[in-house]
Amino acid sequence: MEFSQSLDKQGLIKINLSETARIFYYFVPMNKRFLPLLCLLMSMAGFAQRPIDAEHYRFSIELNDQNDTIYGKAEIRFRFLYPAQSVNLDLYKTKEGKGMKITDIKGRDIRGFSQGQEQVTVFFSSERPANDTATLTITYKGIPKNGLIISKNKYGNRTFFGDNWPNRAHHWLPCVEDPADKAPVEFIVTAPNHYQVVANGVLAEESNLSGNRKETHWKETVPLPTKVMVIGVAEFAVQHIGYAGNCIPVSSWVFPENRKEGFYDYETAKDVLNWHISYIGPYAYQKLANVQSKTMFGGMENASAIFYYEGSVTGNRSEEELQSHEIVHQWFGNHATEKSFAHLWLSEGFATYLTHLYTESKYGTDSLNKRMEADRTGVLEFVSSSHRPVIDTTSDYMRLLNANSYQKGSWILHMLRRELGDTVFHKSIRDYYAAYGGKNADSHDLQQIFENNAGKTLDGFFEQWLNRPVNPKLDISWKYLPGNTKIEITVTQLQEGAAFSFPLELGLDYKGKTTEVKEISISKKTETISIAVAPDLESVIADPNVSLLFEGKISRQ
C-alpha cells in the first residue's frame, strides 16, 4: 500500500491509497472488550463534574495589521447544572509571549476570578442554585498560540482563520470546550476595511467605521459545539451561486488571485448539498459558505462555513469528494454531535460513507466498490500496527483522526446496509438524524435506531465491530464432494480472540456463465459448510460484492 500525502483533516493528512480512492484522513487507535460500559461511566462522570451548560456566546474580536494581538470581549450566558459557588471556563493563559490575558470580568454577584494556564475560575459571592442562569462579560487580549491561525496565504496576503477542532477554541475564545455543550454564537469582528469576514450563521450587520476599519456581525441561532465555531478574515472574492433546497443560499469565498478557478471548483457544492438534503433530511443552517482558507486541515466542517485548504482550488474540480465529506458533517458532527470524542466515528465514519453513497449515486456501484476496497486496505494496514478499538477513550484527540474513525466507521455503516438492506438502512440514517439533530448521541443511541427499524437486536454486531481491536482474518478453502454436485467450504478465523459472527458471500463462477452469489453464516472459529453447485464450477470467489471487512484468502484444496 502506497501513501501519498496532501492536506486534509479529513485531513491533517489526506491519504491516497494506491491511486484507488481519495480518503480523508485515516490512521487508527483502539482498546478492549467492556469499553462501552467504561465509556458510558467516563462520559457520565464528565457531565457530573461540569457544573454549567453554556446557553449563548457573543464574541467581539478586534484585529489589526500592525501585530498579531487580538482584543476580545466575550459575553457568555450559562445555566448552573447543580449548585455551585464557582465555575470554570476554558481559556489558555499567556505563556512565552502567546496566549490570552484576562483584564476584566463583569457579572452579577462576582467576587473575583483566578486565571490558570488552561482555565479561568470565576467565584461568586454565594452559592448559585441549580438551573439559575448567569452572564459573564470577559475582556481579554493576547496573541493566539493556536485556534485562530494568523498567517499569510500562498499569495503573501495576511489572513485570520479560526481552526478550533478538536479542542483548540480556548486558545482564543473563553468557552466550555466540550462537544456535548452546544450554544448559539455571535461574532462581531472589527478589522481593517480591506478584509471581508465570514463566520457561522447569517450576516446581521456590516458597517464602515472611522480609521479605515469595518465591523462585521454574524449571528448563528442554531446551537453549536465550540469545535465548529469560527471566523475567516481575508481579502476574498465572493460568489453567490444559488440556493439549495430552494431556500439555502450557497456561496464561494476564494482568494481574488484564483477567483476564476475557485468559483468554478466550488460551484459543485450546491448540487452536493442538494443530494444530501434529499438523502438525509433538512439542512439545519441558514446558509452554506465554502471558503478557501489557511486551515491546518484539508477540510474543516465548520457549521455553515466550511474551510478548505488553499490548494483545494485547482480549476479542475478535483475536490468533489472533499466537498461532500465536509457537507455531510453539517448533519453528522455539527448538528447531530457525538457525546464525546470517543465516538468520533459517528462524525467521520458517516461523512466517509455518505460521501461514498453520493459518488455511488453519481458514478455507479463500481465506484462504491472501489472505494470500499480502498477503505478496507486502509483499515487492515492500520490494524497491523494498532491495537485500539473504534470507540477510543484516548485524551489525545488528534490520534482519533485515523482509519478506525474514518474507514472502519464507513465499513460499519456499509455492513449494516448490506445486512439489513437499503430500505432499513436509509430509514435508520434519517431517523437517527431526526432524533439527534440539535442534540448529542453515542454509538448505543445509533444502535437502538437500527434495532427499532430492523426488528432485531444488534448487540453482537456493534460489540464486535466497535469494541474489538481486530478484524476477521480468514483462511477459506473449498473442494468438490464426490459426485461433483456439492462443494465443501471450510472457513477458519485466524484473528486473536473470539470468533466474529457475520454473513459471508461466495461467488460461484461457472464456465461461460455469470457468477452466482450464495451467502453463508459464519459464527465459529472453524466451520465447514456444503453448498450445492452445478458440475461446471470453475472457481469460488470470497466476498464478490465487497460486503465484508476482513483479511484473508480463498483457495481450492
Across the chain, mean pLDDT equals 91
Residue 300 parent element (H or E)? strand 299-300
In the prediction, which pLDDT does 3 show?
Answer: 25
Q: Is the CA virtual torsion 426, 427, 428, 434 positive or negative?
A: positive
pLDDT tens for 100-142 read 999 999 999 999 999 999 999 999 999 999 999 999 999 999 9
47 SS3 class:
helix
- Average pLDDT in the 91-103 region? 97
Torsion sign over Cα 508, 513, 514, 516: negative
Note the CATH architecture for domain 473-556.
Sandwich (2.60)
**C-alpha cell read off for 48:** 457530573
Residue-wise pLDDT for 25-44, tens only, equals: 333 333 323 333 333 333 33
Q: Which residues contact 294 (CB under 8 A, 6 or more apart)?
A: 149, 151, 153, 159, 161, 310
What are 394's three cell numbers?
Answer: 484516548
**Residue 447 in 3-state DSSP?**
helix
182 neighbors 223 (Cβ within 8 angstroms)? yes
CATH topology of domain 51-177+181-328: Immunoglobulin-like (2.60.40)
DSSP 244: E
Terminal C-alpha separation, the chain: 29
Q: Please check whether residue 406 is in contact with residue 349, taking contact to mean a CB–CB distance below 8 angstroms.
A: yes
pTM listed for this prediction: 0.91
- The DSSP code sequence of 376-395 is HHHHHHHHTT----SS---S
pLDDT at 32: 29
Closest to 301 measured CA to CA, from 265, 337, 262, 264: 337
pLDDT for res 9 = 56
Query: Cα separation of 397 and 166, whole Å?
Result: 7
Amino acid identity, residue 513? Answer: K
Can you give the pLDDT at residue 515?
Answer: 85
Task: Give me the pLDDT at residue 535, please.
Answer: 81
Is the pLDDT score of 266 beyond 80?
yes
pLDDT, residue 140, reads 98
Query: How is residue 437 written as a grid cell?
Result: 439533530
What pLDDT is attached to residue 118? 97
Q: How far is Cα 321 from Cα 121, in angstroms, rounded to an integer?
A: 43
Answer yes or no: are the C-beta atoms of 297 and 165 closer than 8 Å. Answer: yes
The H or E element spanning position 409 is helix 409-420
Question: What pLDDT is recorded for position 470?
Answer: 97
Tens digit of each residue's pLDDT (9 = 90 or more) over 391-409: 999 999 999 999 999 999 9
Q: What percent of the chain has pLDDT over 70?
A: 91
Q: Is the pLDDT of residue 24 over 80?
A: no
Length of the chain: 557
Which among 86, 87, 72 is positioned nearest to 173, based on CA atoms?
72
What is the band of 49 on the pLDDT scale with cuts at 50, 70, 90? low
Looking at residue 35, what is its pLDDT? 36
Residue pair 411/549 in contact (Cβ under 8 Å)? The answer is: yes
Residue owning grid cell 456566546: 57
Q: Which band of pLDDT confidence, cut at 50, 70 and 90, is reported for residue 331?
A: very high
Per DSSP bridges, beta strands 248-254 and 288-293 are: parallel
CATH 2.60.40.1730 placement within the chain: 51-177+181-328
Question: Within the chain, how many helices (H) and strands (E) appear?
Answer: 10, 31
Residues of the chain with CATH 2.60.40.1840: 473-556
Which CATH homologous superfamily contains domain 3-35+339-467? Neutral Protease Domain 2 (1.10.390.10)
Q: What is the location of CATH 1.10.390.10 in the chain?
A: 3-35+339-467
Q: What is the pLDDT of residue 18?
A: 31
Q: 503 falls in which pLDDT band (50, 70, 90)? A: very high
